[in-house]
Amino acid sequence: MNRLDNYVARNVLFATLMVVVVIAGLDAIFALVDELGRLKGEYQFIEALQFIFMRLPRRIYEYMPMACLIGCLAGLGSMAANSELTVMRAAGISVGRITLAVMKPVLVLMVISMLIAEYAIPPLERIAQSQRAVAQGKDETLSNKGRGYWHREGNEFMRFTAIEPNGVLHGVTLYRFNEASELQRIRTAKRAIYQRGQWQMEQVSDVLIYSDHTERQSQPSLMWETGLTPASLNVVMVLPRDMSISGLYQYTRYLQQQGLNADNYLLSFWRKVTQPLGTIALVILGISFIFGPLRAVTPGQRIFSGILVGLVYKYAEELLAPASIVFGFEPVWASIIPIAGCMLVGLLMMRKAG
């Protein structure tokens, strides 16, 4: 019996890995083509290729649920086409036992995927974004293309054109507001360096805004008093979807304590936490298809069906995410609802097939 379980697991694992390679590879190629339109300054083809390569773990993580679904359909589908599943069923092996065999490689892939999301994606994303921003032009302070990083500390809003992980900021712009939300000062600096526990700004220019006039001041260097550190900049450098689960949890608590909106970070947090459950639900749905409506169709039709189901699931998540903000229900439901629906349909179809 263990030999049969291992045989089923190998088929599903091999098919899933092939799907991951194909999907992530194609997406990386398309991303590289798109990235060629952003070549600027020292950011040329080699740098763009390096940028895409460092983001490969992120693509693997994002496509893992769909890859597991398609791998399940392809692996079990080939066994169904060779009548191997029919022989197993005739030998008394239940659908539940086959499901457990399929889940073994899926769970292993889920553990690897979660480790990638927690420990590989955040630092690689920070390095990739930092290197690209610095190479494209670190002296630019303002940009009409929306490039840069934003952070808020009290009544001061901060913008940085580029952030280096070693504690160097480029293109610093600080907007100071008073309690009445009126702009009081705009401070710009070419660069800020973190040394001995404090920031030193270089080539500083201030625009002081009064009710009836403005004043401009300049100085070669200035100490910058702020609670921002290179460690806390790790959060500013990456999007919520690229942060670790622990980082999302800590930053969400920080935003809530500051009275700031944390919905985007909560959505990303719950999406990462529930991704293993979503993958399991998709695989169960795929298994129910193999023993149900997709038992006698061609491999191409199975793969197409898997892509279609995966896209429907993904779009349901994408639609429910902003809906949770608009209608005010808890962000966790944006992840739970499609998982529950997928799981319910899969279990009902599997029960009927069994």
Q: Each residue of 298-348: pLDDT tens digit?
A: 777 877 887 888 888 888 888 888 888 788 788 889 899 999 999 998 888
Give the structural domain span for 320. Answer: 2-136+262-353
- Whether the predicted pLDDT of 33 surpasses 50: yes
Domain boundary among 223, 238, 253: 238
Q: Highest mean pLDDT range out of 38-47, 184-193, 312-321?
A: 184-193
3-state DSSP call for residue 35? helix
In this structure, the number of other CB atoms found within 10 A of the CB of residue 330 comes to 11
- Paired tokens of 354: 């069994």
**Can you say whether the dihedral through the CA atoms of 326, 329, 330, 335 is positive or negative?**
negative
- 25 and 98 share a domain? yes
- Residues 236-247 as b or e (16 or more Cβ within 10 Å = b): bbbebbbbbbeb
* Structural contact between residues 251 and 312, judged by C-beta atoms closer than 8 angstroms: no
In the chain, % of residues over pLDDT 70 = 95
Q: How many CB atoms lie within 10 A of CB 112?
A: 13
For residue 144, is pLDDT > 60? Answer: no
Q: Give the residue-averaged pLDDT of 171-192.
A: 94
Same domain, 22 and 82: yes
Count how many residues are written for the chain. Answer: 354
The reply to whether 161 and 128 lie within a common domain is: no
d(CA 299, CA 127): 41
Lowest mean pLDDT among 14-28, 88-102, 128-142, 316-330: 128-142
Q: Does 144 reside within a domain?
A: no
> Given 205, 238, 271, which residue is the final one in a domain?
238
Flag whether 256 is in a domain: no
d(CA 283, CA 289): 10
Planar angle of CA 44, 47, 53, nearest 5 degrees: 140
Task: For residue 246, tell me if it sits in a domain.
Answer: no
Specify whether 28 is located in the same domain as 89: yes
In terms of domains, do 153 and 131 share one?
no
What is the dihedral sign for C-alpha 322, 323, 325, 330? negative
Query: For the whole model, what pTM was predicted?
Result: 0.83
Q: Are residues 193 and 158 part of one domain?
A: yes
Name the packing angle between helices 121-137 and 45-54 (round to 10°).
160
Domain co-membership, 30 together with 121: yes
Q: Give yes or no for residue 288 having a pLDDT over 90.
A: no
Encoded amino acid at 212, one letter: D
Residues 94 and 159 in one domain: no
Q: Is residue 245 part of a domain?
A: no
* Residue after which a domain boundary falls, among 188, 205, 238: 238
Q: pLDDT-derived band of residue 294, with 50, 70 and 90 as boundaries? A: low
Query: Which has more confidence, 276 or 298?
Result: 276
In a domain, 252, yes or no: no
Kindly state whether residues 302 and 343 are assigned to the same domain.
yes
Same domain, 106 and 33: yes
